[in-house]
Structure 1
Amino acid sequence: MKRKQGGLSLVGFLMVLAVLGFAAYVGMKLFPMYQEYYAVRSAMKGLSNEPGVADMSPQRIQELFFRRLYINYSENVKPQNVKFERANGGWVMRVTYEVRRPLIYNLDVVGNFDTRQALTRRGSGEE
């Protein structure tokens, strides 16, 4: 009795390779978008721990925010994407922006990011 070998043919292997290659390509387009989003979140969290941030003006907070983003090479967040609202003796900072990256020919990958952070820390003694 002969046993027939089973396995992946060359054509099957090439198809799997093509699917994995496309997934890696899309991942390379998405990774920088989400890396920037996490840099924005990190900068906002860092601001929330800044002593006296609740008493600062929105212009000063925005200046500190963009200094932190400059370190992380963020290029998609602009000053018009940052809004402030008064709340609970401090500020609520909201950053809303869109990132668009070309994918293939006339198809784009679009990421809409919207995040908020309460900035209520008062001085170094109270919280």
Structure 2
Amino acid sequence: MAPFGGMAMKRKQGGLSLIGFLVVLAVLGFAAYIGMKLFPMYQEYYAVKSALKGLSNEPGVADMNPARIQDLFFRRLYINYSENVKPQNVKFERADGGWVMNVSYEVRRPLVYNLDVVGNFDASQALTRRGGSGEE
């Protein structure tokens, strides 16, 4: 005797097929791959921002000459293993009571075959006697 009053009920099973699973896996793998390419670029950018912020808190930085400030900046970046920021990427502008330091650089990483990921980064920091207020 069939259950449920003699009516045999067929239930359709829903779920992920093997092909669907492989597609989802491929998409997640590609997203992880792109993330691995982008993460170091942004990590370096935040190291630059951190070095700039640290310089703004350095005593007497507003009275230093730009070469000394740049030297202190690159020492801080060296600790964070920054390799894309070069001295030609650093510019100084005279400001009220000190300097404004601008860092502009580009990072290019190969992605797939002939496609690259390019990041353009700009950071700016006021280095003044009354304390640096960051600008972006």
TM-score, structure 1 normalization:
0.95
What's the secondary structure of 1:39's corresponding residue?
A: helix
**CA offsets, 1:20-44, max 9 Å, x none?**
0000000000000000000000000
**CA offsets, 1:17-76, max 9 Å, x none?**
000000000000000000000000000000000010000000000000000000000000
What residue in structure 2 maps to residue 13 of structure 1? 21
Q: Which runs of 4+ in 1 moved over 4 A?
A: none
Of 83, 88, 101, 2:96 maps to: 88
Determine whether 1:56 maps to 2:64.
yes
Q: Which has the larger radius of gyration?
A: 2
> What is the CA–CA distance in structure 2 between the aligned matches of 1:16 and 1:122, rounded to whole Å?
54
Q: Which has the higher contact order (CA 8 A, sep 6+)?
A: 1
> What is the CA–CA distance in structure 1 between the aligned matches of 2:82 and 2:125, rounded to whole Å?
18
What's the secondary structure of 2:11's corresponding residue?
A: coil
What residue in structure 1 maps to residue 79 of structure 2? 71
What residue in structure 1 maps to residue 5 of structure 2? none
> What is the CA–CA distance in structure 2 between the aligned matches of 1:64 and 1:122, rounded to whole Å?
19
> What is the CA–CA distance in structure 1 between the aligned matches of 2:129 and 2:84, rounded to whole Å?
28
What's the secondary structure of 1:73's corresponding residue?
A: coil
What residue in structure 2 maps to residue 26 of structure 1? 34
- Unaligned 5+ segments in structure 1 are none
- Unaligned 5+ segments in structure 2 are 1-8, 132-136
Aligned length, in residue pairs: 123
The structural deviation recorded for 1:121 is 3.0
- Partner AA of 1:14 in structure 2: L
Q: Percent identity?
A: 89
Determine whether 1:118 maps to 2:102.
no
What residue in structure 1 maps to residue 48 of structure 2? 40
What's the secondary structure of 2:74's corresponding residue?
A: helix
TM-score, structure 2 normalization:
0.89
Determine whether 1:108 maps to 2:116.
yes
Contact 2:97 2:129 in 1 (8 A): no
Backbone CA RMSD of aligned residues: 1.1
